[in-house]
């Protein structure tokens, strides 16, 4: 912590008296900064363990902010450190609000909040990719089924190489069966790719603590162009998120195949997170596996 304080003091040209951890996820940590008088500064620092991630998130936030109706955190700069352990930091505007995981005052406010979220998402989802698909740093002209199959093959090959000891034979079997049936599970899919936030969940949303109005969406995912249904895969881990998912689907329905594809996406998203962060969400993986089994034939 002292090392980070010294780094930020050097970069900002102002003494940092204290860093306070706001949140911690496997690949990142978020810090609030306090000046030499102990007062909160109007920016926060997001710490990355892996190189290249800060610049990618900065680019994604710039694209989302330029094209959408929902505010995203302004980016003040990227700090690339060569001191061990090698890391990067993204300097972002500090948002005054609370996590949308906090309950609203009443049902009417919750409904209004959902409408704000859905309208904001649809503004991004109206932006067509014109045939592009992929991540912020690697887009290609391709169809979604072909691109997703490529992604699955890379994840499968990487898992076969890593062989984490806590990954069971049953886990490998479900991935193998899903991989073998992927063409069937994605059959007749022709929805266009659009701009995605890529990490839609309540913990990525900031709202006003008094009015429950949506302020901003943070922590975007790495995928830039994909079908609308892929945006929805994180919703459903709580009753509130499930309600938000239903509101979106009532306003903008997706293909019926989402009934089974959501579990395909979640299954491989767990593997992607495992490979890139070393953290494995066992409950989420097991739930997706159980939901997908009836569709594997």
Q: Which of 73-82, 119-128, 227-236, 242-251 has the lowest mean pLDDT?
A: 73-82
Mind giving me the DSSP string for 173-209?
Answer: HHHHHHHHTHHHHTTT--PPPEE--S--SGGGEEE-T
Residue 25, pLDDT above cutoff 80:
no
Residue 105, pLDDT above cutoff 80:
yes
| Averaged pLDDT for residues 220-240 | 95
For 66, the token pair is 């330029």
In tens, the pLDDT along 177-209 reads: 999 999 999 998 989 999 999 999 999 999 999
3-state secondary structure of 70: coil
What pLDDT band is residue 116 in, cutting at 50, 70 and 90? very high
pLDDT at 14: 87
For residue 144, the Cα-to-chain-centroid distance in whole angstroms is: 19
Question: Shortest CA distance to 53 belongs to which of 136, 134, 113, 123?
Answer: 136
pLDDT at 241: 96
3-state secondary structure of 223: strand
Q: What is the pTM of this model?
A: 0.91
For 101, the token pair is 């995981």
Angle at 64 between CA 186 and CA 188, to 5 degrees: 15
pLDDT at 152: 97
In tens, the pLDDT along 32-64 reads: 999 888 889 999 999 888 788 899 999 999 999
pLDDT at 61: 95
pLDDT at 154: 97
In tens, the pLDDT along 252-279 reads: 999 999 999 999 999 999 999 999 888 8
Domains and CATH numbers, the chain: 2-93 (3.30.200.20), 98-295 (3.90.1200.10)
Residue showing tokens 């008094």: 210
* DSSP H helices in the chain: 2-12, 53-67, 107-125, 144-162, 169-180, 182-185, 228-231, 239-251, 258-277, 282-292
pLDDT at 111: 96
pLDDT at 269: 96
């Amino acid at each position: 912590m002292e090392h980070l304080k010294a780094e930020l003091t050097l970069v900002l040209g102002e003494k940092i008296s204290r860093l306070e951890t706001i949140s911690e996820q496997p690949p990142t940590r978020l810090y609030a900064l306090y000046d030499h008088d102990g007062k909160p500064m109007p920016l926060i620092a997001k710490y990355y363990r892996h190189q290249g991630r800060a610049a990618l998130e900065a680019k994604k936030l710039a694209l989302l902010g330029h094209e959408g109706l929902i505010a995203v955190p302004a980016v003040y700069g990227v700090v690339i450190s060569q001191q061990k352990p090698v890391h990067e930091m993204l300097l972002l505007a500090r948002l005054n609000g609370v996590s949308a995981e906090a309950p609203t005052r009443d049902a009417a406010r919750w409904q209004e909040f959902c409408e704000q979220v859905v309208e904001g998402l649809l503004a991004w989802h109206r932006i067509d990719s014109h045939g592009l698909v992929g991540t912020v740093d690697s887009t290609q002209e391709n169809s979604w089924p072909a691109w997703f199959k490529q992604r699955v093959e890379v994840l499968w090959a990487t898992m076969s190489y890593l062989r984490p000891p806590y990954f069971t034979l049953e886990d490998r079997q479900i991935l193998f069966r899903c991989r073998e049936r992927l063409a069937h599970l994605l059959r007749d899919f022709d929805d266009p790719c659009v701009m995605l936030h890529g990490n839609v969940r309540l913990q990525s949303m900031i709202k006003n603590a008094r009015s429950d109005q949506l302020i901003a969406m943070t922590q975007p995912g790495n995928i830039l162009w994909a079908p609308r249904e892929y945006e929805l895969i994180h919703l459903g881990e709580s009753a509130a998120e499930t309600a938000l998912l239903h509101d979106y689907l009532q306003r903008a329905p997706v293909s019926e195949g989402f009934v089974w594809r959501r579990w395909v996406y979640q299954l491989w998203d767990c593997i992607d997170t495992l490979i890139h962060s070393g953290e494995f969400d066992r409950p989420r993986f097991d739930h997706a596996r159980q939901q997908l089994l009836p569709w594997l034939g």
